[in-house]
Amino acid sequence: MLSAISSALSGLMAFAKKTNVASNNLANTLTDDFKKSRVTMKEGSAGGVDAIVEKVNTPDYPISESIRQINNITAKESSNVDIAEEMTNLILSEKGYKANLKTIKAVDENLGTLLDIKA
């Protein structure tokens, strides 16, 4: 039972990291030359979840030389953040977070029932 709690806690931490990355990406949507990050989750040690953050270096729309000179900016391209993708990631993170919380609650209830039977 405790391994289920441990796995669910590592899942909570992974989804929290995914939420933080998506929030940072959204906050920098209009920041020129900003490159979004992506979180990849994979099985970690002892059945847990590892969240790996990596930069996505795909180019976005270039800013023309004339616009850069008129507006006195040095950025060469706009950010590569897709708002719809980030909002979808936030919804998926919310669902994953809730699922892991339900796992912890179920284990807690089973452990309480087991202790009641033993007592």
Kindly list the domain boundaries of the chain, sorted by start residue.
2-118
Read off the amino acid at residue 10.
S
Q: How confident is the model at residue 112, as a pLDDT?
A: 77
Given pLDDT bands bounded at 50, 70 and 90, which one contains residue 114?
low
pTM of the complete model: 0.77
Q: How confident is the model at residue 20, as a pLDDT?
A: 97
Q: pLDDT tens digits for 14-68?
A: 999 999 999 999 999 988 788 999 999 999 877 789 999 999 988 766 655 665 5
- Count Cα atoms within 13 angstroms, Cβ side, for 57: 1
User: What is the Cα–Cα distance from 68 to 113, expressed in whole angstroms?
Assistant: 67
For residue 72, give the H/E element and its range: none
Given pLDDT bands bounded at 50, 70 and 90, which one contains residue 74?
low
